[in-house]
């Protein structure tokens, strides 16, 4: 559990001690990191997984448990950033993959499972009348944006500050150098008046509005239903396509956030868990828009991708979406998440601390501030040093979570695992109370 250290009188001292304890507990992970640094920049090939002072080397997983190279075990409350909804090595997923392997991997033709997965997706998500597959959520969003530009014969794209839509579509701090060079129109999340004013000025030039119904990587900030309804109305008025990035949020109800809200985008992008734990992305929506890719048309737009219909993803995805993450399971998992989040947030309020847990359903995030959180810009202003200390203390307590405070539930997580997280959380509040109270 959390190690209470009474001599820590400030955050820097507490962090220094927690980092030293982390190093002492994990010498084999440190050795693996050192080896990796020789062949990968910073020993890393996926930036979000790097954590200070060094990342743990995860050796294996089973159900909702993980083991690192040093033999420590953790309850997995990261869930591969929403992709790991089935836990580790689910027997049905494994059987589907093994069956696919036995039939040949790279077949170079239409396969029997791709239409089954497409049908399951179209039946599940209300706006998706037709769908095409990609290999990641990033790729799905890129294809959706390019599709909107072709369909509308426009170039500009509206996004929201702090939004994340993939490795080359990140708008924290206004954007990153490796972003794709679309002419971006940057608006503020949940700012209906400001966004509408931007659309009044530039709507006739905008091809697409790309938005998450809940900003996942931005701190699990739900969009106001009125804000999304305004985007729907204004997109229609100005002739642009509304794209819901439901790569993460599609798990929050049987039919995604669009079903819960009753707001239909023109295009929806998907990814993460829908491939059954394999690499997956998809974009779909209106038939007149998706029809651009019908190769029977003389004016068809090409869409390539060697692994778009790979047999492992197609097979695992069908089993996952039709047998494991059924509508009833989706409802139950998200109810469990709501209950856990409310329990954690209530503990913060009871302790009278400037700290809150926000989110929806099976996705949540801890923030060290008492200020209202309505956008990723707001969450970025919360205390980040305390967030690092929270991460280190929770890992020491056997809870695996994101460095940024994000926590995700998977199907194998039950009452016992939620109770263990809540106990570690409450002990953190007690052990670090004086440091949290100092938050401004």
266 is catalytic: no
Mean pLDDT, residues 281-292 taken together: 98
Note whether 287 and 424 are same-domain residues: no
Do 28 and 98 lie in a common domain?
Answer: no
- Judge if 233 and 346 occupy the same domain: no
> What is the pLDDT at residue 440?
72
How much is the pLDDT for 7? Answer: 44
Reply yes or no on whether the pLDDT at 4 is more than 60: no
The confidence score (pLDDT) of residue 5 equals: 45
Is residue 6 situated within a structural domain?
A: no
Q: Which of 272, 273, 390, 393 is catalytic?
A: 272
- Work out the angle at residue 408's Cα, subtended by the Cα atoms of residues 350 and 211, and round it to the nearest 5 degrees: 100
What's the whole-model pTM score?
Answer: 0.96
Q: What number of H helices and E strands is found in the chain?
A: 15, 16
End position of a domain, from candidates 324, 348, 367: 324
Q: Do 399 and 425 reside in the same domain of the chain?
A: yes
Q: Is 66 contained in some domain?
A: yes
Main-chain phi, psi angles of 7, to 5 degrees: -80, -10
Helix (H/G/I), strand (E/B), else coil: 55: coil
pLDDT in tens, 303-348: 999 999 999 999 999 999 999 999 999 999 999 999 999 999 999 9
Kindly state whether residues 313 and 339 are assigned to the same domain. Answer: no
Out of 32, 68, 156, 164, the active site residue is 164
**Mean pLDDT of the region 45-50:** 94
- Would you call 73 a catalytic residue per the annotation? no
CATH number at residue 50: 3.90.1150.10
Q: Is residue 81 part of a domain?
A: no
pLDDT at 209 over 50: yes
Calculate the average pLDDT of the chain.
96
Q: Give mean pLDDT, residues 279-301.
A: 98
Note whether residue 5 is domain-resident.
Answer: no
The rounded percent of the chain whose pLDDT value lies above 90 is 97
Q: Is 245 considered catalytic here?
A: yes
Q: What is the 3-state secondary structure (H, E, C) of 100-123?
A: HHHCCCCCCCCCCCHHHHHHHHHH
How many domains does the chain divide into? Answer: 2
pLDDT in tens, 6-32: 445 799 999 999 999 999 999 999 999
Does one domain contain both 241 and 256? yes
User: By percentage, how much of the chain surpasses pLDDT 70?
Assistant: 98
Q: Say if CB 176 and CB 170 are below 8 A apart.
A: yes
Contact 401, 84 (CB under 8 A): no
- How much is the average pLDDT of 134-160? 98
Asked if 116 and 143 touch (Cβ cutoff 8 Å), the reply is no
pLDDT, position 249: 98
Q: Name the active-site residue from 68, 76, 191, 245.
A: 245
């Amino acid at each position: 559990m959390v190690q209470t250290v009474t001599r820590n009188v400030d955050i820097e001292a507490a962090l220094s001690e927690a980092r030293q304890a982390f190093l002492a507990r994990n010498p084999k992970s440190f050795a693996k990191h050192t080896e990796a640094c020789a062949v990968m920049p910073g020993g890393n090939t996926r930036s979000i997984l790097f954590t200070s002072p060094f990342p743990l080397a995860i050796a294996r997983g089973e159900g909702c448990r993980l083991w690192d190279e040093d033999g420590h075990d953790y309850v997995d409350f990261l869930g591969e950033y929403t992709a790991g909804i089935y836990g580790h090595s689910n027997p049905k997923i494994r059987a589907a993959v093994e069956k696919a392997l036995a039939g040949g991997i790279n077949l170079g033709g239409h396969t029997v499972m791709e239409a089954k997965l497409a049908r399951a997706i179209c039946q599940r998500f209300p706006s998706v009348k037709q769908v095409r597959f990609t290999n990641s959520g990033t790729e799905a969003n890129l294809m959706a944006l390019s599709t909107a530009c072709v369909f509308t014969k426009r170039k500009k794209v509206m996004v929201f500050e702090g939004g994340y839509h993939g490795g080359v579509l990140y708008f924290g701090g206004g954007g990153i150098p490796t972003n794709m060079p679309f002419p971006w129109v940057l608006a503020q999340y949940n700012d209906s008046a400001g966004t509408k004013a931007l659309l009044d000025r530039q709507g006739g030039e905008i091809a697409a509005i790309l938005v998450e119904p809940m900003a996942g990587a931005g701190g699990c900030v739900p969009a106001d239903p009125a804000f999304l309804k305004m985007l729907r109305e204004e997109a229609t008025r100005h002739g642009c396509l509304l794209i819901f990035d439901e790569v993460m949020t599609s798990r929050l109800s049987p039919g995604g956030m669009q079903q819960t809200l009753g707001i239909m985008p023109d295009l929806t992008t998907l990814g993460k868990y829908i491939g059954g734990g394999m690499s997956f992305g998809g974009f779909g929506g209106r038939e007149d828009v998706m029809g651009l890719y019908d190769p029977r048309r003389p004016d068809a737009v090409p869409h390539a991708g060697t692994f778009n219909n790979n047999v492992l993803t197609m097979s695992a995805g069908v089993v996952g979406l039709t047998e494991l993450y059924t509508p009833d399971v989706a409802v139950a998992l998200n109810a469990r998440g709501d209950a856990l989040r409310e329990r954690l947030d209530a503990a913060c309020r009871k302790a009278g601390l400037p700290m809150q847990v926000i989110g929806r359903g099976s996705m949540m995030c801890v923030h060290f501030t008492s200020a209202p959180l309505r956008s990723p810009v707001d969450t970025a202003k919360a205390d980040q040093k305390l967030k690092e200390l929270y991460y280190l203390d929770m890992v020491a307590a056997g809870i695996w979570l994101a460095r940024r405070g994000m926590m995700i539930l998977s199907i194998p997580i039950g009452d016992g695992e939620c109770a263990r997280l809540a106990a570690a959380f409450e002990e953190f509040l007690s052990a670090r109370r004086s440091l949290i109270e100092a938050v401004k």
